[in-house]
Chains A and B, each alone.
Chain A
Amino acid sequence: MFYIKSDHLSEHSLFDRKITGLGLFLALFFCFFPNLVSAATSLKVAHLHELAIEKSLWNELQWKNLLHYELDGWSNSHYISEVDDSRFFNALDGKNNPKSELLSTITALYNKDDLGDMHPQCRFTARLKWLQEQFPGEMNDVPNVTCKEYEKWRQLIPSHRVTLIFPAYHLNSPSSMFGHTLLRIDDAEEKHGSHWLSAAVNFGANVRSDDNSLFYAFKGLSGGYPGFFIVESYFKKIQEYNQTEKRDIWEYPLNFTPEESNRMVEHLWELKEIEFDYFFFDENCSYRLLELLEVARPGIDLTSSYGLSVIPVDTIRSIEEAGLITDSYYRPSQVTVLENLLKQIKPENWHYIRRLSNDPSILSSDEFSQIVDTEQKLIIRAAYKYLRYKKTGEPRDDKSATISFKLLTALSAVNAEDIEQPPHRPLRPEKGHYTKRASFNLGKENEANYAEMGMRFSFHSLDDNQHGFLQGAQINIGSILFRAVEDESVELQQLDLIDIFSLTPRTELFDPLSWRVYTGLERQLTSGNYRLVAHVTGGAGVAYQPFDDAITYALIMARLERNRGFERAIEPALGLNIGMLYHFTSSTIRIELSGEEFAGDEYRHRAIYSQNFALSQNHSFKITATREEQKDIDFSEINASYQYYFF
Chain B
Amino acid sequence: MKKLVAGTILMVASSSAFAVAPGGPDCGWGNMLFEGDSGIGQHFLASSTNGTSGNATFGMTTGTNGCSANGTLTYGGKSLIGSIMNEFSQDVAMGNGEALNAVAVMMGVAPEDRETFAKVTHENFAILFPSENVTAAEVMASLEDVMRADSRLSKYVG
Chain A residues within CB distance 8 Å of chain B: 149, 152-153, 155-158, 170, 173, 175-176, 180, 187, 190-197, 199, 202-209, 211-213, 216, 220, 225, 228-233, 235-236, 239-240, 243-245, 272-273, 284-285, 381, 384, 388, 391-396, 400-402, 404-405, 408-409, 411-413, 418
Tell which of B9-17, B19-27, B89-97, B146-154 binds the partner. B89-97
B106 CB contacts on chain A under 8 angstroms: 194, 197
Q: Mark B110-147, 1 if CB is under 8 A from A, else 0.
A: 01001000000010011001011100000000000000
A405 CB contacts on chain B under 8 angstroms: 33-34, 129, 131-132
Chain B residue at smallest Cβ distance from A402: B132
Within 8 A of A (CB), among B21-66: 32-35, 37-38, 40-54, 56-61
Q: Which of B46, B59, B122 makes the CB contact (< 8 A) with A232?
A: B59
Chain B residue at smallest Cβ distance from A406: B132
With A209-B43, A418-B94 known, 17 other A-B pairs at CB within 8 A are A194-B98, A194-B102, A196-B99, A205-B49, A213-B48, A232-B59, A232-B60, A240-B40, A243-B37, A245-B47, A388-B34, A395-B38, A396-B38, A400-B34, A401-B133, A412-B125, A418-B95
- Complex CA gap A284/B54 in Å reads 19
A244 CB contacts on chain B under 8 angstroms: 37, 40-41, 44, 47
Q: Are B33 and A388 in contact (CB under 8 A)?
A: no
B93 CB contacts on chain A under 8 angstroms: 408-409, 411-412
- Complex CA gap A445/B94 in Å reads 62
Can you spell out 24 A-B residue pairs with CB atoms less than 8 angstroms apart?
A153-B61, A156-B1, A193-B105, A196-B102, A206-B56, A207-B45, A207-B46, A207-B53, A216-B51, A228-B52, A231-B58, A231-B61, A239-B84, A240-B47, A245-B44, A245-B47, A273-B56, A394-B38, A396-B35, A400-B34, A401-B132, A405-B33, A409-B126, A418-B95
Q: Are A404 and B132 in contact (CB under 8 A)?
A: yes
Which residue among B1, B89, B104, B126 has the maximum number of chain A CB atoms within 10 Å of its CB? B1
Given contacts A194-B105, A244-B40, A404-B34, contact A207 B51 (CB under 8 A): yes
Q: Which of B40, B60, B101 makes the CB contact (< 8 A) with A233?
A: B60
B114 CB contacts on chain A under 8 angstroms: 193
Q: Are A209 and B46 in contact (CB under 8 A)?
A: yes
Given contacts A193-B111, A394-B38, contact A233 B59 (CB under 8 A): yes
B99 CB contacts on chain A under 8 angstroms: 196, 235
Which residue among A197, A211, A384, A401 has the maximum number of chain B CB atoms within 10 Å of its CB? A197
- Complex CA gap A338/B25 in Å reads 34
B84 CB contacts on chain A under 8 angstroms: 196, 235, 239
- Complex CA gap A409/B134 in Å reads 13
B-side interface residues, number (CB < 8 Å)? 60
User: What is the minimal beta-carbon distance from B112 to any residue of chain A, in angstroms?
Assistant: 11
A402 CB contacts on chain B under 8 angstroms: 132
Number of A-B residue pairs having CB atoms within 8 Å of each other in the complex: 193
User: What is the minimal beta-carbon distance from A175 to any residue of chain B, in angstroms?
Assistant: 4
User: What is the minimal beta-carbon distance from B27 to any residue of chain A, in angstroms?
Assistant: 15
Chain B residues within CB distance 8 Å of chain A: 1-2, 4, 32-35, 37-38, 40-54, 56-61, 71, 75-76, 80, 83-84, 86-87, 89-90, 92-95, 98-99, 101-102, 104-106, 111, 114, 122, 125-126, 129, 131-133
The 7 closest A-B pairs by CB, nearest first: A393-B41, A232-B59, A207-B51, A405-B132, A196-B102, A412-B93, A228-B56
Q: Are A202 and B40 in contact (CB under 8 A)?
A: no
Chain A residue at smallest Cβ distance from B57: A230
Q: Are B34 and A391 in contact (CB under 8 A)?
A: yes
User: What is the minimal beta-carbon distance from A358 to any residue of chain B, in angstroms?
Assistant: 16
User: What is the minimal beta-carbon distance from A541 to any residue of chain B, in angstroms?
Assistant: 24
User: What is the minimal beta-carbon distance from B55 to any residue of chain A, in angstroms?
Assistant: 9
A192 CB contacts on chain B under 8 angstroms: 2, 105
- Complex CA gap A245/B46 in Å reads 12
User: What is the minimal beta-carbon distance from A387 to any residue of chain B, in angstroms?
Assistant: 10
Chain A residue at smallest Cβ distance from B109: A193
User: What is the minimal beta-carbon distance from B111 to any residue of chain A, in angstroms?
Assistant: 6
Q: Are B52 and A207 in contact (CB under 8 A)?
A: yes
Q: Which of A193, A207, A209 makes the CB contact (< 8 A) with B42?
A: A209
- Complex CA gap A566/B126 in Å reads 73
Chain B residue at smallest Cβ distance from A284: B50
B35 CB contacts on chain A under 8 angstroms: 396
User: What is the minimal beta-carbon distance from A84 to any residue of chain B, in angstroms?
Assistant: 14
- Complex CA gap A239/B49 in Å reads 15
Given contacts A195-B98, A404-B132, A408-B93, contact A208 B53 (CB under 8 A): yes
User: What is the minimal beta-carbon distance from B67 to any residue of chain A, in angstroms?
Assistant: 14
Chain A residue at smallest Cβ distance from B111: A193
Q: Are B111 and A206 in contact (CB under 8 A)?
A: no
Given contacts A196-B101, A202-B50, contact A401 B56 (CB under 8 A): no
Which residue among A195, A196, A394 has the maximum number of chain B CB atoms within 10 Å of its CB? A196
- Complex CA gap A272/B98 in Å reads 29
- Complex CA gap A245/B40 in Å reads 10
Q: Which of B4, B44, B45 makes the CB contact (< 8 A) with A211?
A: B45
- Complex CA gap A173/B34 in Å reads 26
- Complex CA gap A640/B82 in Å reads 59
A272 CB contacts on chain B under 8 angstroms: 58, 61
Q: Are B105 and A225 in contact (CB under 8 A)?
A: no
Q: Are A393 and B37 in contact (CB under 8 A)?
A: yes
Q: Are A393 and B40 in contact (CB under 8 A)?
A: yes
- Complex CA gap A348/B23 in Å reads 50
Q: Are B57 and A232 in contact (CB under 8 A)?
A: yes
Given contacts A197-B102, A395-B38, A396-B35, contact A232 B76 (CB under 8 A): yes
Q: Are B4 and A155 in contact (CB under 8 A)?
A: yes
A229 CB contacts on chain B under 8 angstroms: 58
Q: Are A176 and B58 in contact (CB under 8 A)?
A: no
Q: Are A205 and B37 in contact (CB under 8 A)?
A: no
B52 CB contacts on chain A under 8 angstroms: 202, 204, 206-207, 228, 230
Q: Which of B56, B104, B122 makes the CB contact (< 8 A) with A230?
A: B56
Which residue among B48, B50, B99 has the maximum number of chain A CB atoms within 10 Å of its CB? B50
Chain B residue at smallest Cβ distance from A404: B34
Chain A residue at smallest Cβ distance from B105: A194
Q: Are B86 and A388 in contact (CB under 8 A)?
A: yes
- Complex CA gap A205/B95 in Å reads 39
Q: Are A401 and B33 in contact (CB under 8 A)?
A: yes
Which residue among A192, A195, A396 has the maximum number of chain B CB atoms within 10 Å of its CB? A396
Given contacts A233-B60, A244-B44, A411-B94, contact A225 B4 (CB under 8 A): no
Q: Which of A170, A220, A392 makes the CB contact (< 8 A) with B37?
A: A392
- Complex CA gap A408/B122 in Å reads 12
Q: Are A152 and B105 in contact (CB under 8 A)?
A: no
Given contacts A207-B51, A209-B46, A396-B35, contact A408 B129 (CB under 8 A): yes
User: What is the minimal beta-carbon distance from B36 to any residue of chain A, in angstroms?
Assistant: 8
A149 CB contacts on chain B under 8 angstroms: 61
- Complex CA gap A246/B59 in Å reads 23
User: What is the minimal beta-carbon distance from A190 to any residue of chain B, in angstroms?
Assistant: 7
- Complex CA gap A5/B70 in Å reads 34
- Complex CA gap A55/B59 in Å reads 39
- Complex CA gap A152/B58 in Å reads 12
- Complex CA gap A225/B98 in Å reads 36
